Structure 1
Amino acid sequence: MKSLWMDETEIQDFPMLMQDITVDVAVVGGGMAGILTAYLLKEQGVHVAVLEADRIGGGQTGKTTAKITSQHGVIYQKLLSKHGREAAEKYSLENQKAIDRYEKIVQDRQIACGFVRCPAYLYTLEAPELLKEEAECAAGLSIEASFTKETELPFQVAGAVRFENQARFHPLLFLEAAARDLAVYEHSRVLQAEGDRLVTENGSVRAKKIVFACHYPFLNMPGYYFMRMHQERSYVVGLEQVPELEGMYLGVDREQAWSFRSAGEYLLFGGGGHRTGENRTGGKYELLRRKAAEFYPGSRVRYQWSAQDCMPMDQIPYIGRFSAETPDWYAATGFGKWGMSSSMAAAGMITESILGEEDDGKVFGIFSPQRFTPRASAGNFCKDSVHAVKDLSRRIFTPGRSDLEELPVGHGGIVEYDGEKVGAYRDEEGEIYLVSAKCPHLGCQLEWNPDEKCFECPCHGSRFDHMGHCVDGPAQTGIALAQEEDSH
């Protein structure tokens, strides 16, 4: 489903890579992180090329709520207690710098993208003490933060943390301007990466440095990112006839974790998040519509869409050297729900490292992917491992949930067909589409998401439309068509 940003933006077409080329730096991924990295490097005279599998901005950048903020949930008290003051200061500094960098680019290039400074709030209806502590921790890190009970929300809160001078913008209008003068190759999916060479279907790139900014690294080894991240989906509706909000808001309570931000004449209202592949019953958009009618009687839904986020085990993105075995590769992934500020932070730090201005320990600090150790991250590591084992076991040992004949019109699911378990979808005309129920990434059983009408992998978040085409990685291929049957 088209987001507001996609509906309002026409981005120029870039050519497909049709030959072998050599550059200083190759960037894999044409989302915000990839384009910003290329932009900052080009500003320093570096010869850089961007390889995008589809269209730039067509992934999560086009589906974000586009909050540019250093307020990333209840994080600063956790950083201080688990990682220490130096690490917490590094995290806050890089994300605060990200806001300023966006503003400078907008001003220097005169980009009309609705960039505006505004406050960002975390709110609670239940636990004000938690947010009082977060406000104190953030303020102690030189962030302009304070605790308050005053908000613009259509309900009373028990407390909120207010961060001053954060920002919001139109991400695709910004991206279109930033990418305009870059060497970008669209429809050029990287199929292989080895040493200094990236291979696409019709050409290859040799580069001294390679940056993987493709949301979720498609390479399982080295790096082992599939062992330290899972993916989550969240949902948004764009409301008309709603009062404009000055601030941006996010709830921290499990049952009231709603997101609010104005975007021109619309209010973006979000929530209903879940681990990818765990929404068999659906109803997320209906939930948002129901709550919107409760909060804003008379409002109307004009847009609805969903996004996907890579969730690292310790809430901290992986930004830095891809692995110890590949010193000339960089990774920018695991941004959680905060892709806009994290994209700019990643672009800035990776550019600084490539230019050799500081040693890596100082440049990346707490963000470095090399911080990962299974023992230190045992809790979440075990939780994600349990999910993977459960979903692999489900594919092997459990039957389909129903027979193909029982599948209603307009619905999909995992069914039994000719003694095999397959994915099936029956469209509104009654035509049936059959696909493999096995994710081609690492073999987990897929699940049907009725809100998005697609198959999703609960292990690592790959997604496929009802015809089997891959729409989100880390899978690089579609799910083989098991059989197709016309029921007419």
Structure 2
Amino acid sequence: MNSIWDSTVTVPTYPALHQNITVDAAVIGGGIAGLLIAYQLEKRGIHAVVLERDRIWGGQTHDTTAKITAQHGICYHPLIQNYGEEKAAQYAAANQAAIHEFRTLIQKGNIPCEWEEVPSYLYTTMDEALLEKEALAAARVGLDSRFTTDTSLPFPIKAALCFPGQAQFNPLLFLQALLPSLTIYEKTPVLSIEKQAVSVPGATVQARHIILACHYPFPRWPGFYFLRMHQERSYVLALREADQVDGMYYGIDSDGLSFRNSGSLLLLGGAGHRTGKRLDQNPYQQLWRQAQLLYPNCEQAARWSAQDCMPLDGIPYIGTFSPTRPNWYVATGFHKWGMTTSMAAAMILTGMILGEPPAYSGVFSPRRFSLKASKQNLKEDIRVSVKSLSRQFFTGPKKSVDDLLPGQAGIVRLGGRKVAAYRDESDRLYHISAKCPHLGCQLEWNPAERSWDCPCHGSRFDYTGKLLDSPAKSNVGGQS
């Protein structure tokens, strides 16, 4: 289940770090955010190294649908309501600046990365009231948009809001062109950070500036980011023999789909859910049924999924990690818009480190808090965490491991213990601890990807217990 981007590049291999070094900046995380931050720092004369736990762009960067846009769903109307027009305008300016920076780098470097400038659409099949409010808000913050009912979608809509001048690309081809100017260490997991020292296995990196760009910040405190975000999964099918669309489309309804072209393929996205939610149906099968209804002659070329950090108020956290750690910086909570936001983060953090923060950086400050903007998500996060912890510590499994049939998984009893068990199609049994090593929540089975997912903070593990997604830092023990 690899994305279509994986087949377009050969990922270079970089060494692990085995000796102590001193640098200007240590960037933790080798996804697009970390690589862009290191690239922007190097451009400005600040020597940076990238420390990657596994392989570069091995996480969300190669699982994206790669839209570069200042249109992030219904965002500007709530931004104005919760933070005022000035902050909403900063958000728009940051994303417009990011689009411009991508365009500039690609054109100046003559980077062949399938860059296409296309319009981006929000659409609804139900009620245009939200789109009308978003159009007014977008105009107030200086974004060009227009209403239409004329789209290339394969079904009728109530209304669409079109934002011209947005873009799409192949992220791995783009990043490949930046790699020669970067110093990267792979297979170099960060064990701890103390003041200006980053500890990795067998070595220490001394750095004046430390940037956490590792998708989900692993230090629990200071910062307390595990209380300020949850994670969500989304799914994509790449379809052959499906009609092309004239831009990027994002449905704002609860069951809305996303569409974009990639060469002759159509990328169909949707079926998202909170990580660790118990699923009633397989999201890939759900998407495929819709694909067959919309494009009866289509075929699957590829399918994959992504995971996104969702901040309480919908705005990414970009800036100083915590008031007590002034030389630490963070870029996280990209809210499903990681391509544009990664570039915005690189520009903001580079400016902050140089003492020249962009005027639009204020809206992303990790120090902000608005109860009005965060109340609904905060209540849901607390509810999910309490439920999961209660199940882990106070609820016993109803089934024994012997009840599992081939292809089934569940939280079961094994030798008087509670375990997360999976029996594969050949009847081999795998069992691990049912407890997430991050903060102890009970894991849930994701049948679509045969993974154990944490509903509290989104850590994920394969059925053998191997760590797939942070914030957990270790595998789950007890495999068999």
- Is 1:458 equivalent to 2:455 in the alignment? yes
Q: Which amino acid in the other structure matches residue 120 of structure 2? A: A
Residues 160-193 of structure 1: per-residue CA shift (max 9 Å, x gap)? 1100000000011111212222001011110111
- Is 1:409 equivalent to 2:412 in the alignment? no
- 1:65 is aligned to 65
Q: Which amino acid in the other structure matches residue 474 of structure 1? A: P
In structure 1, how many angstroms separate the alpha carbons of the residues matched to 2:9 and 2:369?
39
SS in 1 for 2:187: coil
Identity %: 49
SS in 1 for 2:172: helix
Q: Is the 8 A contact 1:279 1:450 kept in 2?
A: no
- Deviation (angstroms), 1:111: 1.2
Q: Which amino acid in the other structure matches residue 433 of structure 1? A: Y
- Deviation (angstroms), 1:147: 1.2
SS in 2 for 1:132: helix
- Deviation (angstroms), 1:249: 0.4
- Deviation (angstroms), 1:374: 6.3
- 1:449 is aligned to 446
In structure 1, how many angstroms separate the alpha carbons of the residues matched to 2:189 and 2:280?
33
Structure 1, 442-451 or 167-176: larger mean CA deviation = 167-176
SS in 2 for 1:371: coil
- Deviation (angstroms), 1:279: 3.5
- Is 1:185 equivalent to 2:185 in the alignment? yes
SS in 2 for 1:332: strand
- Deviation (angstroms), 1:79: 0.9
- Deviation (angstroms), 1:142: 1.5
SS in 2 for 1:474: coil
Q: Is the 8 A contact 1:249 1:260 kept in 2?
A: yes
Q: Is the 8 A contact 1:414 1:421 kept in 2?
A: yes
What aligned pairs does 1:386-405 form with structure 2 within 5 A after superposition? 386-405=383-402
In structure 2, how many angstroms separate the alpha carbons of the residues matched to 1:124 and 1:374?
29
SS in 2 for 1:428: coil
Q: Is the 8 A contact 1:234 1:271 kept in 2?
A: yes
Residues 235-271 of structure 1: per-residue CA shift (max 9 Å, x gap)? 111101122222000101112x101011112111011
Q: Which amino acid in the other structure matches residue 426 of structure 1? A: R
- 2:213 is aligned to 213
In structure 2, how many angstroms separate the alpha carbons of the residues matched to 1:451 and 1:250?
23
In structure 2, how many angstroms separate the alpha carbons of the residues matched to 1:339 and 1:402?
41
Q: Closer, same or farther in 2 for the Cα pair 1:235/1:472, shift >3 Å?
A: same
Structure 1, 415-424 or 190-199: larger mean CA deviation = 415-424
SS in 1 for 2:270: strand
- Is 1:476 equivalent to 2:473 in the alignment? yes
- 1:297 is aligned to 296
- 2:20 is aligned to 20
Gaps of 5+ in 2: none
- 1:158 is aligned to 158
- 2:95 is aligned to 95
SS in 2 for 1:377: helix
- 1:325 is aligned to 324
- Deviation (angstroms), 1:99: 0.7
- 2:252 is aligned to 252
- Deviation (angstroms), 1:150: 1.1
In structure 2, how many angstroms separate the alpha carbons of the residues matched to 1:284 and 1:425?
19
In structure 2, how many angstroms separate the alpha carbons of the residues matched to 1:275 and 1:45?
41
In structure 1, how many angstroms separate the alpha carbons of the residues matched to 2:65 and 2:376?
30
Q: Which amino acid in the other structure matches residue 446 of structure 2? A: N
Give the alignment's TM-score, normalised by structure 2. 0.98
SS in 2 for 1:211: strand
How many pairs are equivalent? 480
Q: Which amino acid in the other structure matches residue 403 of structure 1? A: S
Q: Which amino acid in the other structure matches residue 303 of structure 2? A: Q
Q: Which amino acid in the other structure matches residue 418 of structure 1? A: G
- Deviation (angstroms), 1:82: 1.3
Q: Is the 8 A contact 1:216 1:474 kept in 2?
A: yes
- Deviation (angstroms), 1:90: 0.1
Give the alignment's TM-score, normalised by structure 1. 0.96
- Deviation (angstroms), 1:378: 3.8
Q: Is the 8 A contact 2:316 2:331 kept in 1?
A: yes
Q: Which amino acid in the other structure matches residue 22 of structure 1? A: T
- Deviation (angstroms), 1:401: 4.3
Q: Is the 8 A contact 1:280 1:447 kept in 2?
A: no
In structure 2, how many angstroms separate the alpha carbons of the residues matched to 1:426 and 1:376?
43
- 2:194 is aligned to 194
Q: Closer, same or farther in 2 for the Cα pair 1:454/1:61, shift >3 Å?
A: same
In structure 1, how many angstroms separate the alpha carbons of the residues matched to 2:371 and 2:46?
36
- 2:225 is aligned to 225
- Is 1:130 equivalent to 2:130 in the alignment? yes
Out of 417, 422, 425, the position equivalent to 1:420 is 417
- Is 1:275 equivalent to 2:274 in the alignment? yes
- 2:309 is aligned to 310
Q: Is the 8 A contact 2:240 2:301 kept in 1?
A: yes
- Deviation (angstroms), 1:107: 1.2
